[in-house]
């Protein structure tokens, strides 16, 4: 269905995702229209394609999937169009132009601008602006209309035009695959549809080369940094519909162009994206160089005794060894599960560094993890992004992140906590940022979930056996009394958890359906937990779930729990945004790093809100279109309504999002889900988030399946082999 009309009002537009609500005047009627738009203004004539829908709150709306500007069709429309868009030209002068040239006005403006010099009200500057505007506007909308025949949305088409410019149509006709070089986020399959419709051969070199790069990028979305060549060829045969000889030839071509690298791992050939291979190489070189350097030896025994006495703690022999290894090596790793004393070791190391007057920096991969280590040590911790001053990076541009210029770290010692969360590119940026003689102390639980991004950095470093490493195994007295911690270690060892359901901090509630699982969650949140424990249900409880979608995913659970804990009320303002209702007192999470976002604490202003920060909506000002969130530490942050895509409800969050955080009380529904996602270290990570109580609700067979499923530990990377090979080469050369 198509409708044509004039934009009467733009009610709302989100500049981040281009979602727009506008009022379109069609004849004498006004129609509310919703969809994605780019550069539109009031008075623009639009042709929208879509369908009429009924919104549960706002009623009848026209939901459009594409649109195009209808350039002025009448004399009066053309006069208004000129006057509205060209600075210094009013309706009187615009009328003079149209009266003089009539139906030929546009052609005169575009191609015969000299004729305009006789028009009253125009000068050389105005004529130049008039010509430039009409040419660029015509070219842009001509390009958008051209691309629309390939089912490319106006928003994406405009993004292509902005990147490529007036030659877009010629470039697309010559080689549509070249668009992928201009816009990294453009999907290969979108461009491939253009290529197919233009009759480009399936074995066209540009098509094959870009298709292979697309394929290997898809594979790295699952955390791998490389793929077995045989598997890549097989995948690309199906994707590109050509035979294996064409694929192998294209891979060879890309290797010669240094866009891909091939390396042997376990006697098999693996293919790497250039940036992935070089990043692993950089990391390996830095680590091996650090293992060859010596540090000024410290007699840690006496210093440990001194700082322990001052702090009134006593380190075990295992912990003392960890402190000694960290302080007396240029690079070291401490790993261990919950309750094994990693934080105690960090505190002791810091105390000794301060005693020795060595400057150090404490850091973590995420804002939540940095905040947690700050709270447990009493010392300021930075995110790696903040430490290295990494700000705006296009997640789709791997090469750009690889080449990013980071800030030099000046401190003598860098201590990284929650290191299991560090991905390949972040580790590469860290090794770029530290000096050759910077001491590096890496702390983390290798059995937790690996990083969201590609790589398995902590596991690869430990399993390479090239870095001095202490694995903490002893669970200390207080932790040993916790069934949560005892059973987390059982799970990590491949043993099924044991549930007592009496005199315990770990409970299991069996259910036989999704509906029953949801009922149990709702009753716990509504009243049962409050009668059992002394807690602030909104602030002390966190629901964790393996997934975002499905009935037990974060989206649906958040909607259900919001109705229980923060129901609609005339006393609370609310705003609907992208099908979500944000209400005063809602629990929300920041889901992207925003380094420029200012906030205040007791009247003082600071910068930086991070992915994973949890807060509560303090107030919503409908008039000024502002929403205020109070995060931990009384950080009050202001959001414009068009920034609400940075927030999600967080009554329920994914286990991945919980990494680096701890919560007093945790509810963990495990009933069904995507089997590859239901892994041992996902369960282990979820269990280790709970401090005071963990309630698992669901199917015991699925819990046991997770214990048995080691799938996510099988990320394919090349860092371990590079470390081992580089160490061997160095030893061989030094003989």
Identify the CA nearest to 507 among candidates 698, 701, 661. Answer: 698
226-228 β-sheet, strand order? 226-228, 268-273, 260-265
Interacting residues of 647 by C-beta distance below 8 A, sequence separation 6+: 582, 588, 589, 590, 591, 629, 639
**H/E stretch holding 251:** helix 244-256
DSSP-based three-state secondary structure for 500: coil
Tokens of 655: 């286990």
User: 228 - beta bridge partners?
Assistant: 270
DSSP class of residue 359? -
The pLDDT of residue 712: 54
Tokens of 545: 């779930």
The pLDDT of residue 713: 59
Identify the CA nearest to 370 among candidates 661, 682, 691. Answer: 661
pTM, two decimals, is 0.79
Q: What residue ranges of the chain have pLDDT lower than 50?
A: none
Q: Which residues of 331-356 are buried (b: 16+ CB within 10 A; e: fewer)?
A: bbbbbbbbbbbbebbbbbbbbbbeee
Angle at the Cα of 689 from the Cα atoms of 685 and 694, rounded to 5 degrees: 105
The 10 Å Cβ neighbour count of residue 400 is 14
pLDDT, tens only, 235-286: 999 999 999 999 999 999 999 999 999 999 989 999 999 999 999 999 999 9
Cα–Cα distance for residue pair 372/649, rounded to 1 Å: 21
439-444 β-sheet, strand order? 381-383, 360-364, 413-416, 439-444, 331-336, 469-472
The pLDDT of residue 245: 94
Burial class, 238, CB count within 10 angstroms (exposed 0-12 / middle 13-18 / buried 19+) = exposed
User: 21 - beta bridge partners?
Assistant: 12, 34
Phi, psi (deg, nearest 5) at residue 731: -65, -40
The pLDDT of residue 495: 96
CA distances from 564 to 37, 538, 539, 557, 575 (A): 36, 10, 14, 11, 18
541-545 β-sheet, strand order? 506-510, 690-698, 663-670, 541-545, 652-654
**H/E stretch holding 4:** strand 2-13
Burial class, 212, CB count within 10 angstroms (exposed 0-12 / middle 13-18 / buried 19+) = buried
Interacting residues of 482 by C-beta distance below 8 A, sequence separation 6+: 339, 505, 506
**H/E stretch holding 74:** none
The pLDDT of residue 725: 92
The pLDDT of residue 395: 53
The pLDDT of residue 41: 79
What is the rounded (10 degree) CA torsion for 522, 526, 532, 535?
Answer: 110
* Polymer length of the chain: 735
Identify the CA nearest to 261 among candidates 306, 328, 213. Answer: 213
The pLDDT of residue 532: 84
């Amino acid at each position: 269905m198509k409708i044509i009309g004039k934009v009467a009002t733009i009610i709302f537009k989100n500049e981040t995702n281009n979602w727009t609500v506008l009022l379109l005047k069609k004849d004498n009627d006004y129609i509310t229209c919703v969809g994605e738009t780019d550069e539109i203004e009031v008075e623009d004539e639009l042709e929208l394609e879509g369908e009429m829908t009924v919104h549960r709150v706002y009623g009848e709306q026209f939901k459009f999937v594409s649109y195009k500007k209808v350039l002025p069709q009448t004399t009066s429309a053309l006069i208004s169009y000129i006057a509205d868009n060209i600075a210094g030209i009013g309706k009187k002068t615009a009328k003079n132009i149209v009266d003089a040239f009539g139906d030929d006005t546009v052609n005169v403006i575009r191609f015969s601008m000299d004729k305009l010099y006789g028009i009253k009200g125009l000068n050389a500057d105005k004529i130049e602006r008039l010509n430039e505007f009409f040419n660029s506007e015509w070219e842009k909308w001509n390009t958008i209309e051209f691309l629309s025949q390939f089912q490319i949305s106006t928003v994406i088409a405009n993004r292509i035009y902005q990147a490529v410019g007036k030659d877009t149509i010629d470039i697309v006709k010559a080689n549509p695959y070249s668009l992928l070089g201009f816009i990294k986020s453009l999907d290969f399959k979108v461009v491939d549809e253009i290529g197919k419709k233009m009759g480009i051969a399936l074995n066209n070199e540009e098509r094959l080369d870009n298709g292979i790069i697309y394929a290997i990028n898809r594979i790295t979305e699952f955390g791998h940094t490389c793929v077995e060549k045989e598997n890549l060829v097989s995948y690309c045969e199906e994707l590109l519909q050509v035979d294996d000889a064409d694929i192998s030839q294209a891979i060879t071509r890309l290797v010669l162009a240094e866009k891909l690298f091939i390396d042997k791992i376990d006697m098999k050939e693996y293919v790497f994206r250039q940036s992935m291979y070089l990043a692993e190489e950089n990391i390996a070189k830095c680590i091996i160089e650090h293992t060859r350097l010596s540090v000024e030896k410290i007699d840690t025994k006496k210093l440990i005794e001194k700082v322990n006495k001052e702090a009134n703690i006593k380190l075990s022999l295992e912990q003392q060894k960890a402190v000694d290894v960290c302080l007396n090596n240029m690079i070291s790793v401490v790993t261990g599960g919950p309750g094994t004393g990693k934080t105690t070791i960090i505190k002791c190391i810091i105390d000794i560094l301060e005693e020795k007057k060595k400057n150090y920096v404490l850091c973590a991969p995420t804002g939540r993890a940095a905040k947690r280590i700050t709270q447990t040590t009493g010392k300021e911790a930075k995110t790696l992004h903040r430490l290295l001053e990494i700000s705006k990076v296009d997640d789709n541009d791997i090469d750009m992140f690889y080449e990013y210029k980071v800030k030099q770290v000046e401190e003598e010692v860098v201590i990284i906590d929650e290191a299991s969360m560090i991905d390949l590119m972040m580790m590469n940026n860290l090794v770029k940022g530290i000096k050759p003689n910077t001491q590096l102390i890496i702390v983390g639980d290798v059995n937790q979930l690996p990083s969201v991004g590609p790589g398995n950095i902590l596991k690869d470093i430990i399993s390479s056996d090239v870095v001095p490493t202490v694995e903490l195994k002893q669970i200390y007295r207080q932790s040993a009394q916790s069934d949560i911690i005892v059973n987390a270690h059982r799970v990590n060892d491949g043993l099924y958890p044991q549930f007592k359901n009496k005199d315990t901090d770990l409970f299991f509630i069996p259910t036989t359906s999704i509906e029953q699982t949801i009922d149990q969650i709702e009753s716990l949140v509504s009243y049962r937990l409050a009668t059992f424990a002394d807690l602030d249900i909104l602030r002390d409880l966190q629901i964790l779930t393996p997934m975002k979608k499905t009935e037990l995913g974060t989206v649906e659970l958040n909607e259900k729990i919001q109705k229980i804990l923060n129901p609609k009320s005339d006393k609370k303002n609310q705003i609907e945004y992208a099908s979500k209702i944000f209400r005063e007192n809602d629990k929300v999470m920041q889901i992207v790093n925003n380094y420029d976002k200012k906030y205040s604490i007791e009247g003082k202003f600071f910068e930086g809100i991070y992915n994973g920060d949890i807060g509560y909506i303090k107030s919503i000002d409908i008039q000024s279109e502002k929403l205020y969130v109070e995060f931990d530490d009384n950080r009050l942050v202001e959001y414009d309504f068009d920034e609400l895509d940075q927030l999600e409800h967080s009554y329920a969050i994914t286990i991945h999002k919980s990494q680096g955080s701890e919560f007093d009380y945790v509810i963990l529904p495990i009933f069904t889900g995507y089997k590859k996602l239901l892994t041992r270290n996902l369960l282990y990570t979820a269990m280790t988030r709970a401090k005071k109580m963990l309630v698992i609700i669901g199917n015991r067979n699925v819990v046991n399946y997770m214990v048995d499923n080691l799938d996510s530990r099988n990320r394919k990377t090349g860092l371990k082999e590079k470390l081992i090979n580089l160490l061997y080469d160095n030893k061989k050369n030094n003989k």
